[in-house]
Amino acid sequence: MTGPKKGSRGRAPKRNTAQGRGGATRDSSRPARERSAAAGSDRSEQRPDRPQTARSGAAGKSSGTTAGGSGRAGQTRGGPRRTGPGQNRGTPGEGGGSGRTGQQGRAGQIQRRKPLPELKRVQLDAPAPDRVFKDRDGEGLTFPDSNLKRVAAQILTEKRKAWRYRPFSFPLFTDKGNEQAFHFDFYVYDAEDSVIRLILVVPFESREVWDRVGRFKRQYPMYPYELWTPEKLARLSGPRGRLEF
């Protein structure tokens, strides 16, 4: 008798087929060769070929890192060079922050320096501008334009010194052979009418003054001279003022 058996409800009889651990059978799964080929094609599609430049760049970075490491190791072996305070202890390429800090420190030191004290101005009790002073020859002279020269003339007169005001000049020869006329202000004489002292009155000592005075000393070593500044005039005009000639 053909047809389905009674009680089967029209279903085909079950087959006895081998099953795997997960319940997979040969009919529902593909062979292993086909699965491996399909997986290889998927991987090749997902991984695009990398350009050779990337590999070369990676190689360059690795070589540069190795060279930098060896350079730093050499510096560590040699040890850092000791420098003064406030100076950059690193190389020009490294430690830029420390260099800027050192420059700022030096700038701060320069700004914190105390200014040089100003020279105190000496107050001289100068005679009147129309005061007349008599020289060795009895000629009256006035110095209305210079308080220092009036004080100097007063000191020489009070000390009873025979003096003349710029009676002659001294020719000075420069290094290039040029001739310059150089005057002292007061020429002091002895009883035999010989010059015993040359006096130059200056408001302050300058490089130009010492240059000419030094040249005069080299060319005329037989003449003694003195520089009378306001400080020296104040000492000589005081109660203990004393001339050395």
Is residue 46 included in any domain, yes or no?
A: no
Q: What is the pLDDT of residue 71?
A: 47
Please report, for the chain, how many H helices and E strands are present, in that order: 6, 8
Q: What residues make up the domain containing 226?
A: 133-236
The DSSP H or E segment spanning 47 is: none
The pTM (predicted TM-score) of the whole model is 0.51
122-143, pLDDT tens digit by residue?
778 888 999 999 999 999 999 9
Is residue 186 included in any domain, yes or no?
A: yes
Q: What is the pLDDT of residue 123?
A: 78
CATH number at residue 228: 3.40.960
Q: What is the pLDDT of residue 54?
A: 44
Q: What is the pLDDT of residue 98?
A: 53
Is residue 176 included in any domain, yes or no?
A: yes
- Answer positive or negative: Cα dihedral of 54, 59, 65, 68: negative
* pLDDT tens per residue across all 245 residues of the chain: 455 555 555 555 555 656 666 666 655 656 666 555 555 555 555 555 554 544 544 444 444 444 444 445 444 454 555 555 545 554 444 444 555 655 666 655 555 656 545 556 777 888 899 999 999 999 999 999 999 999 999 999 999 999 999 999 999 998 888 898 999 999 999 999 999 999 999 998 899 899 999 999 999 999 999 999 999 999 998 877 788 88
Is residue 242 included in any domain, yes or no?
A: no
Is residue 168 included in any domain, yes or no?
A: yes
Q: What is the pLDDT of residue 68?
A: 47
Query: How many domains does the chain contain in total?
Result: 1
Is residue 213 included in any domain, yes or no?
A: yes
Is residue 161 included in any domain, yes or no?
A: yes
198-245, pLDDT tens digit by residue?
999 999 889 989 999 999 999 999 999 999 999 999 999 887 778 888
* 188-to-31, 33, 161 alpha-carbon distances in Å: 135, 131, 7
At residue 202, the 3 state secondary structure works out as coil
Is residue 207 included in any domain, yes or no?
A: yes
User: Which segments within the chain are labelled E, that is strand?
Assistant: 133-134, 140-141, 162-165, 170-173, 179-182, 186-189, 195-201, 225-228
